[in-house]
Each structure stands twice: as C-alpha cells, then as structure tokens.
Chains A and B, each alone.
Chain A
Amino acid sequence: MTATSWRVFGASVRGSSHEARDTPCQDAHAFEVVDDAWLVAAVADGAGSASHSQIGSALAVRHAAARLAAEVRRGLRDDDGAVERALRAIVEDTRDVLFDDARARELEPGELSCTFLLVLAGPRLTASIHVGDGAIVARSDGGARTFSVPEPSEHPNETTFLTSPNAIESARVFIERATVDGIALMSDGLQMLALKYPSWAPFTPFFEPLFAFVAKADDAVAAKTDFERFLGSKKVRAKTDDDVTLVLARRVAAPVAQGDHAGGDD
C-alpha cells in the first residue's frame, strides 16, 4: 500500500451579522497531522451572547489539538475504552483551561462560552468528541456520512457549551475501528447548508466536490485562497449570517508538506 498522508484546509470566516455589529469572528479551528498517518482537528464556535467567546474558542481548539497530538505521539492504546477516556480527559482539561483563563481575566466562565468538536483519524481508528452543535462528516468507500451530529435540542438556537455545567455529561464520543479517507468539521453556521434537516445526513453536492477539490489541490496557497473565498461567498452568505468554519481533510499520497495550523478569522 502506498504511503498516505492528510491534506488539510481550514478556514473560519466572520459572518455578516458580526460584521454589521463590528464584532469579531467567534469561530476558531486548529489541526495537526502527526507522522503522516494521523489527523487531529478541532473546531469551536463562540457563543454569540458571550463577550469574549472568540478568546474561548481560540484557546479551546489550540489546547485540545496540541493535547491530542501529544497523546498520539505517546501511542494510543488499541482499546476503545482508553481512547474514550483520553478524549474525555482532553475535554475536561480544555474546560479547565477556559475556566482558568476567565479567572485570570476576571470574567465569568460563561463569557468564554463555545461549542467544541474534536476529531482523530488514522489507521483503523476514527474517533470524535463533541459538545454542542456543529457537525463532523466522514468519507470512505461508501461515500460521505455524518460521524457526529449537532447536539439534539428542541431549539436549534440553544445549545450546550464547553463552559456549561453539564458540558462533560453532554459530550458525545464516537469511536470506529475504521480507516476513513476524508473528514470535515463544521461549526453550526454551515449546518443547514451542508446537511439535510432533520436527519443531518450530508448534502452530497456540497461534500463531493469539496473533497475532490482537496484531493487535487497541489498548490496549497492558491487552494487555501479559493477555499476561504468560497466560505465568504455570496452563495454562503445568502443562507447564513453566522460565522462559518470548515476544516476539510483528505487522505492523499504522501508526502504532503506539513506543519500544524491553528486559526481564527484567517
């Protein structure tokens, strides 16, 4: 089997409702590829009503991605229980980081509120932990499927945050002993554009061309520009005024120029 690696693009783009109020993009994302084989990716969406949620979301993704990458380097165990425990420990730790940061800034923890999505994808293991809305989609031979759906909730504009009292209990973990060749993470701004309501199944005409785009994108700089332009395009903004984040990863033949990456509003 030829060696493969992950090619990843990520962007967080400020929505028109924040532009209008001159408030910053509150979405953030981070990703890292470890030893070519392992993809670590995180997305966080700051609560609109929280004063400093852009700080919370940026902190959360950077900390969690770094922690998970470190776990991968140390060697993840083969049993699902250990993987789940590791993911839950990372979420608790990330939550503590937010609380500590709030304290240092003399803010209520709620002012750093954000949702949280974390993915690990590698040989024969695809795993995620997810607090709140947004979604994770996986691609393999059978096509695209939603790996982690937005948190079930009566009201789609109300969700659990990493700083919520019940954040840990509400966190959903999914582990599959399967190798996927594509992963997408999105904040809820893209939910109703990229998925089908109410099943949350992927809207294929959205994902298929996007995954193909990543597979063919050898000019990383040009591709990143195209990607960001798409997320800020009229087509997307006609359907949502929210911040949008998309991290798209595709397994490609190695080698791929690597470096870890974290970004807020790029």
Chain B
Amino acid sequence: MPSLEDQIAINEDNPEPRCACALLLDTSGSMTGERIEELNAGLATLRDEIMGDDLARLRVELGVITFDSEVNVVRDFAPVAEFDPPTLTAQHQTFTGTAILTALEKLEARKAFYRQEGLPYFRPWLFLITDGRPEGEAPEKLEEAKNRLAAAQQHNHVKVFAVGVGDNVDLDQIGTVTGTKAVRLKGTNFKDMFAWLSESMKRVSSSKLGTQVKLASIDDWATA
C-alpha cells in the first residue's frame, strides 16, 4: 500500500517569492582606501553567504547603486545566483538625494516586473551606506528624496536601513532624510555588517514572519 506521501502530489509550479535588496553605496572621494576596499570585499561575501542558504538563494535579488557626483546603477536587480560582485572605486562628491530617488525608481520598476510575470514578492529593502554629508547636488533633490521615501514607507512599499561610516557623517541628518534611525558602523567593519545583512535576508526569505522581521542584534558592527 503506497504511503500517503507517495499518493499525494505537491504543486511544483508555484513561483518562489522574490526578496529584493537595493544596496545604495556612497563612492565619494572620502571612501578611498580602506573603506572602499572593505566594502568591495563585503559585497563578495554577501553573495556567497546568501547562496549558502537553500531558500534565500532562490528568493533574494540584489541591486547595487553607487553615488558620488554621478549615480550609477552598477548592478540592476537580478537573482543572487546571477550577481557578479562589482569592484568599486571612490571619487568626487556625494549626490545622496539623487541616489535615493534612483533607488526608489529601480525598486518600483522591479516590482512592476514581478507583477507582470506573476511573481509574488516580499517588501523590498533599501540599504544605504554613506560616509559624509550630501554634497554637490541641487538642494531640492534631498528634500524630494526625503518626501518620496516617507511616502514609500508610509505605504509599506520599502524597508529602509541607513548606515553611516566614519565621523564626518551626520546621523541625525541621514535619519531625517531616510525616516529611520541611522546607525554608525564601527570602524570599517563592513565584514560583520554584511554578515548581518545576509543573515537578515535569510530571515526575510524564510516563509512568513509577520509584519516585523525579527533581526539579529547589530551590536557586532554598529553603534546606534
């Protein structure tokens, strides 16, 4: 007599939900040296860590947007299996506002793609890393970014994290712009920060977590 397991078929055709994470990375001149090197190393490990998790590697999508005096979509959203970690260089000023606007635009475009393809998706993340004040762009840009981000969060369209690097960054300002509590990286410990991010992405990928994702402590790599 065949077991129940053998008699019953599971639907194999349903699509995996997508979990998009936009990495918004400051590549201004002040990031030169150890900061950009550690950032580059961290991006490579992020991919490996996520690929090591059975569920996360089917669900997580990464996008990388850098900002200095230009905003570049270095890696558009794609499944983590296809993610080719970039090697970033640092130069010029800091167009933070423009970067945020671009990130929001790319996230909305990706969601439109998901809807078009009939793919379920979890609330995407926007992970901002910056080491200084916005500099060089039109002041209205920052204000527009702040407003757009506030609206997006109010409608539950995105989850935002903001990390400040070094002593020149004004955490309060970043907090005001992003509508979150920005934290400060301990030194250049991008390694532990990315370990935390990959663990967090694994938790978000994992089935239902309710409205609050229970994340691990940030104490290893950040101060509030």
Contacts and interface: CB of A to CB of B under 8 A. Distances in A.
B122 A48 contact: no
A266 B4 CA distance: 18
B214 A49 contact: yes
B151 interface: no
Interface string B117-138: 0101111000000000000000
B210 A50 contact: yes
B15 interface: yes
A147 interface: no
B8 A15 contact: no
Contacts of A196: 11, 13-14
A24 B212 CA distance: 19
Nearest to B12: A239
A48 B10 contact: no
A195 B12 CA distance: 10
B11 A155 contact: no
A106 B212 CA distance: 20
B207 A210 contact: no
A174 interface: no
A167 B178 CA distance: 30
Interface in B1-26: 3-5, 7-15, 17
Nearest to B207: A242
A157 B209 contact: yes
B201 interface: no
A173 to B, nearest CB: 23
Interface string B183-224: 000000000000000000000101111111110000000000
Contact of B11 (A45, A158, A194): A194
B55 interface: yes
Contacts of B7: 209, 213
B116 interface: no
B17 A156 contact: yes
B122 A227 contact: no
A49 B11 contact: no
Contacts of B5: 229-230, 233-235
Given A205-B8, A235-B10, A188 B208 contact: yes
A47 interface: yes
A107 to B, nearest CB: 15
A189 B211 CA distance: 16
A157 B13 contact: no
- In order of increasing CB-CB distance, the 3 nearest A-B pairs are A205-B9, A47-B210, A242-B207
14 contacts: A15-B207, A47-B210, A48-B209, A49-B214, A50-B210, A157-B207, A157-B209, A159-B210, A195-B14, A210-B4, A226-B3, A226-B4, A241-B55, A242-B208
